[in-house]
Chain A
């Protein structure tokens, strides 16, 4: 197949698709075309939209490719949809973060980390399909184990879970601990001795 033709086809498929299209899926649709070829045209489209500053971008998300609008245009699209930017509650975000990093995880384990009841949050997240029940844990009571879904990846613009920073990285990025009651020695010369404590 001509490269230009393939490019046009891929663009149409991505435009018409509802969910992210994976490479295997595209390979199945475009029978006879090498996966490498598809991949290279996808990359070409991706950088083309980017460099041309188009109103849609090709984004790698949830293991596939999807056309999405760039963030800087968000306000106008919200105006179009007449929606306001929905704020995610901290309870939602914290619970999702715990599940994303610790999955599969039980409700009791999540509650142990957050220190509060998460029943309501979990059912809302299940309803939103951001998490799912993946199995039952083989302990007393056989509690459900929760994990994140493909929708979770789509929702947070993630290619896969490895794209999340590791917990260790998060720790290192976090503000360093303030040492307990260290006197500010640097200022000593200029500051007048406030009060002699010796």
Chain B
């Protein structure tokens, strides 16, 4: 194990990339199965045992499909946009801590980069997602796409403000921008959802809006806009938009877990008298289970709630969430100062 120490960050990079690649097909399968159960259907059950190999069949089909680049598009932006969709969701994972394991009596964080600006980096990078949708929709030169893209740009910008403000309360309580510090603080003082209930609620709502999931999926709005910003896309480029959406969900789940659900912490595990080495591994599993539950929650909400109307969406963002988030910051400040 000693010899492996200098290579640990590279091992984490590899493990996280593989995790990332394997999460998306699983998510797509879960989404299709859960939606089938919610609607009292069977869902995919033909490929492999109980339809479990369906995502692999999907991936192969995406690879082999003809890619139509219509005449009227702005070609370079049209090709660039889908790749840009996946990048930001990926990048965020460079700073997310997945747990702390003991190796040779030394505590090692499962995290690629322990940067001192964790949250700031996450906020900055995740807001790049709006460019992918705007570029894609504008370059498509299609009316459905352009309407979807405009809606999406306005929506993502509007909900970024309450998202940024909702995190402020948590940073104020902890006094650090490092995600690992925030998790450690929660291990000692209770989960963020108890310390900052309003902040947690705001963050979860805005996370749905930022990932363009129902009830905030006005960008796509299948019934009105065909496919929204990806109407003109086919083959692998369409798959990239799809991948981006699920990557964003994974990222949002990770952020919610780290900020408000105690990260890798399992309550009362410290008083059970277990070996610290084993506790470390249990906590990594706990982190993954929390992520799994949150992603199930995303699917659950999608198939339970109807879509907002656009004016309702903007009113909720600007007239309710932003004042509420500001009030949350001010009240937290007053409580902290007393």
* A and B found bound together: no
